[in-house]
Structure 1
Amino acid sequence: MGLIDLFKKSKKRSATTDNGVLGPTYLDGFTEQISEPEDLQKHEWRRKLRTASGQTKFRIRYFGQLHTHHRNLIVGTEEAPSLVVAVDPASAQEIILFDGCKHGYNAMFCEQYSAEQKSRVAGTFYKDPNGNDTFEITLSTYNGIDYDDEFADKVDADGYITLIDGTRMDFGTVKRNGFDTLQISGLTEAGKVIEIVSEELA
């Protein structure tokens, strides 16, 4: 059972996924709304991956390994966190879905990574346990951290905050990219939903 399954006790529906929560800045321009989503949480940003040209089916390439027991899940290795990239099969355009060295609360405020770890390559193409390798992608981030309360006194006069690695970042960007949970799922041609990534990041 993935993290998102914990929330799916009831089947409440919203009109769309536009609930006012802002998603990761690095995915701006690469997503679209989902109509009538089930059990959208008030602190959840959820979207479907889509290129500017309208492509909605992707292959997945990653750095990491498959979970020992849940063979559908991509996880990090002892050397470094996972890196997950979507690839448009038609154009070969690549879209970063998650970089565990950069994205999420822990990467921004708790863990420091070397230049070698940050430069790792997503070189393995993903296949689910049934051999499917092309999916429609849905992404969810959960933003349960009250950044305004926890970090307000650390924002400088220019509206920037210093991350654990010394990088200065706009506070608005920090709140969008510093999510505490990430879920990535894929829809196969046969209509089966496969959970690809499920990470707690705080």
Structure 2
Amino acid sequence: MGLFDKFKKDKAKTTDNGVLGPTFLDGLTEQINEPKDLQKHEWRRRLKTPSGQKKFKIKYFGQLHADYQNLIVGLNGTPALVVAVEPVSGEEILIFDGCLHGYNAMFCDHYSEQTKNRKADKLYQAHDGTDMFELTISTYNGVDFDDEFASDVDADGFIELIDGTKVEVETAKRNGFDTLQIFGIAESGKVIEIVSEELA
């Protein structure tokens, strides 16, 4: 086996499939070894603080789904807001804001400043009482930005969002995902789906 073949094999053992994830999670995640069913258009990582902490409590704005009662969803037409809290330091990491993240929030839906300024003030707890998790985050990037927005990119490589702000097109690709999933892994090993949002 040559060096190149070994590299390809080793790379396949992690979630490093070449897909770039959300810019707001840069420096806050780590690769996952031996991923199961990783899709070619999926970015998947485990949340990790710069100091190496990997267990979190969760605060949110929204409500729990009526039928799938572990899922956080929006409330009265206002998108969910989800924050991971490292319990020792109290450090908070924004992991999803439905007013800012995903294709629809960036290119389709208008939200007032009052809506955007909602607070994640509910503590998440699974039905079995678990409130501490390792968190796995997946985004799916099925939108063909190069095709859909080719004529909208300016000479400097920026694209205008629905709220009038301009971002680099590469940033738009990374944050304009069409689906998001967040899974919590409890101390017992039980996996709980906490967020599942179609965003395009």
The correspondence for 2:54, drawn from 50, 53, 56, is: 56
Structure 1 position 80, deviation (Å): 1.1
Q: TM-score, normalised by structure 1?
A: 0.93
Is 1:136 the counterpart of 2:131 in the alignment?
no
- Give the greater-gyration-radius structure (CA): 2
Question: Which deviations, in whole Å up to 9, do the C-alpha atoms of 1:62-106 show, x marking residues without a partner?
Answer: 000000011100000114100000000010000000000000000
Q: Deviations over 1:29-74 (max 9, x none)?
A: 0000000100100000000000011100000000000000111000
Q: CA deviation at 1:173?
A: 0.4
The residue type paired with residue 34 of structure 1 is I
1:12-91 alignment runs, 5 A limit: 14-91=12-89
- The separation in 1 between residues aligned to 2:63 and 2:87, in whole angstroms, is 22
**What percentage of residue pairs aligned between the two structures are identical?**
67
AA matched with 1:145: V
**Alignment size in residue pairs:** 189
SS of residue in 1 equivalent to 2:109: coil
Q: Does 1:124 align with 2:122?
A: yes
Aligned letter for 1:110?
C
Instruction: Give the gaps of 5 or more residues in structure 2.
Output: 1-11
Tell me, yes or no, if the aligned pair for 1:79 and 1:117 is still in contact at 8 Å: no
RMSD, aligned CA: 0.6
- Is the contact between residue 140 and residue 182 of structure 1 (CA under 8 Å) also seen in structure 2? yes
List per-residue Cα deviations over 1:159-187 (Å, max 9, x = no partner): 11111111111111000000000000000
Distance 1:193 1:103 in 2: 24
Poorly superposed stretches of 4+, deviation over 3 Å: none
Residue 184 (structure 1) aligned to one of 173, 177, 182 = 182
User: TM-score with structure 2 length normalisation?
Assistant: 0.93
SS in 1 for 2:15: coil
Give the Cα–Cα distance (whole angstroms) in 2 for the partners of residues 78 and 172 of structure 1: 32
**Letter paired with 1:180:** D
Query: Hey, what's the Cα distance between the residues in 2 that align with 1:79 and 1:35?
Result: 38
